[in-house]
Amino acid sequence: MLKSNHIDPELIGANLKTKRIGRKIVVFSCTTSTNDIAAEYAKSKDNDGLVIFADEQTAGRGRAGAKWFSGPAESILCSAVLINCKLTSELLSISCAVAVAEAIGKLDSNYAKIKWPNDIVINGKKIAGILLESRDYDTHRCHIIGIGINCHQKQQSFPPELQTIATSIDTEGNVFCDRVSLAKRLLSSLDCWLAAAEKKSSTVVQRWKRLSSELNRPIRLTFGGAVFNGSCIGIDPEKGLIVQLDTGGIRMFEAAQTTIAK
C-alpha cells in the first residue's frame, strides 16, 4: 500500500477551510529552523496566517535554549505567523497547547494531554512541543508559533536521554501517521482555537482544564531561581498557571518565565 509521507503545500491546502491560519503555506525540504524562516516572512504584514513547514531542520530549537532533534521526514515541523495578535501571551500559549493536543487527539485508547505550559504528552511521554517567539518590527509585532510533533520515531530514533520520556504518533497509535492529514488537522485546530480565544477566553480555559495533565495534581515549579511546590488549581488567561502553594497562599506563574522542576 502506498503510504502518504510527503508534506506537500497543495495537499495540505486542498479543502482547508481555515480563515486565517494556512492562508499561505510554504514547505522546505530542509531548513535551519522554521521559526527563523517564519520570522523573515513576518517582516511583511501581509503574511499573517502564513505557515512554514519543513521535513528537516538543521538548527531546530525548543524552549529554554534546548535543541529540537528530528530525523528527515519523521515529524511535523512547522511555524505559523501571527501579525499584531490581540491575545495576551498567556492566552496565546494556552490556545496553542489546546489546538495541538486536540489535533493529535486520541491514539489507541489514550488522549493527548497538555503538560503546562507547552508540552503535549500521551501515556506520560512527550509527543509534541510548542515554541512561541515574538519580534517587533518597525510597523508591527509578530508572534511565531513553532510546533514539532513526533510522527514516525521509534524509541531508538530519539537521543538516549529522551528515549524513556519521548514518544511518537506511530508508537502510541500503532499506525503509520499520515502527516498531511495531521498537518491539515493542526492548521484547522489552530485556526479554530485562536479565533475562539479572541471571542471568549473562557471557552479555551474550559477546554484547557479538560486536557491538562496537571490540574488538581501536585506540581513543582522553578521561577526566578526559586522552587515552588503546590497543587495546580487552574489557569488564568492573563497571569498563567494558578497554584495552591504547599507553604500556603495562591500564586500565579507566567509560562515564559517558569519551568516545571524535575
Residues near ligand BTN, by CB under 6 A: 33-35, 57, 60-63, 66, 68, 77-79, 118-119, 129-131, 146-148
Closest residue to ligand BTN using C-beta atoms = 129
**CB 255 → ligand BTN: shortest distance, Å?**
12
Q: Least distance in Å: CB of 237 to ligand BTN?
A: 21
Q: Which is nearer to ligand BTN, 34 or 93 (CB)?
A: 34
What sign does the CA torsion over 110, 111, 115, 119 have?
positive
Give the list of residues 6+ apart from residue 77 with CB closer than 8 angstroms, or none: 34, 53, 54, 55, 56, 57, 60, 70, 147, 148
Q: Which is nearer to ligand BTN, 27 or 201 (CB)?
A: 27
CB of 35 or CB of 201, closer to ligand BTN: 35
Q: Which of 42, 100, 98 is nearest to 75 (CA)?
A: 100
Amino acid letter at 27?
V
Q: Which three cell numbers stand for residue 99?
A: 489546538
The cell for 186 is 493542526
3-state SS class at 229: strand
Instruction: Name the grid cell of 207.
Output: 477546554
**Among residues 102 and 119, whose Cβ is nearest to ligand BTN?**
119
How far apart are CB 121 and ligand BTN at their closest, in Å?
11
User: In whole angstroms, how close is the CB of 200 to ligand BTN at the nearest point?
Assistant: 27
Residue nearer to ligand BTN on the CB measure, 60 or 237: 60
Nearest to 97 by CA among 132, 123, 70, 66: 132
Smallest separation (angstroms) from ligand BTN to the CB of 250: 27
